[in-house]
Amino acid sequence: MTGITIRPLCPEDVPAATALFVGGMTETLDGGARRSMAARCAIAGAAAGAAVAAAADRLLKLKPPSTVAALALVPVCASAAVCMYAPRKIASDYIDSCLATDMADPIGHYNGAAARSGFWVAVDDSTGEVIGTVAVEDISNPNSHGKKDGWEDGDAELRRMSVSPAARGCVVSRPLFQRCHQPP
């Protein structure tokens, strides 16, 4: 990558910035939640499967033993399904919520809201492609959730930080993050 320009989000950047946001959040929430849930789901499924097998064997005296094993697989499969479905649902719900709120009009929400708020993009100088995004939301923005969450005046939240997979490792996030520390 030859060069990167950091500039405020423009109307023509919104589709690319939205796509980066959706892709990054899907990857982060779906993959991260799945990884954090995997061990718990496996333990819960195995424990429930063992309990079902023991109960079926003791109460129903099912023969052959393969019937008991088959019944034991039901909670294991249910646990695996939850582990696969829940993170995707969590990610989808969060993304849909953001697309209906701040990402419905990111320029209006961030750039027109409060003095220290803003939304910036990193653009690859050689291609003109938006390869990264970052937003800062001052909690004095009336649409900010910060006050409700107990934040204090002067606080701001780093939001919508995303770098395209092809540009990762190319020093895109550092200049985006540094831009957040500069006065608007």
DSSP 88-144: HHHHHHHHHHHHHTGGGSHIIIIITT-TT-EEEEEEETTT--EEEEEEEEETTSTT-
Residue 111: per-residue pLDDT: 75
Higher pLDDT, 27 or 41: 27
Average pLDDT, the chain: 77
Higher pLDDT, 160 or 90: 160
Confidence class of residue 13 from pLDDT cuts 50, 70 and 90? very high
Least confident of 8-12, 46-50, 179-183: 46-50
Check pLDDT > 60 for residue 1.
Answer: no
Residue 168: per-residue pLDDT: 80
Residue 17 and residue 9 in contact, taking contact as beta carbons nearer than 8 Å: yes
| Closest by CA position to 53, among listed 38, 74, 33, 32 | 74
What digits encode the pLDDT tens for the residues 126-143? Answer: 999 999 999 888 776 666
What's the whole-model pTM score? Answer: 0.70
| Closest by CA position to 28, among listed 77, 82, 98 | 98
What digits encode the pLDDT tens for the residues 35-86? Answer: 666 666 666 666 666 666 666 666 666 565 666 666 666 666 666 666 667 7
Check pLDDT > 70 for residue 144.
Answer: no
Cα gap 20→119, rounded to integer Å: 13
Mean pLDDT of 105-111: 86
- The position carrying tokens 């088959």 is 70
Instruction: Determine the Cα angle at 69 with ends 68 and 70, to 5°.
Output: 90
Paired strand residues for 120: 8, 134
Check pLDDT > 80 for residue 98.
Answer: yes
Residue 17: per-residue pLDDT: 95
Cα gap 135→154, rounded to integer Å: 16
Residue 88: per-residue pLDDT: 75
Residue 74: per-residue pLDDT: 66
| Closest by CA position to 103, among listed 135, 151, 139, 129 | 135
- The position carrying tokens 């849930």 is 37
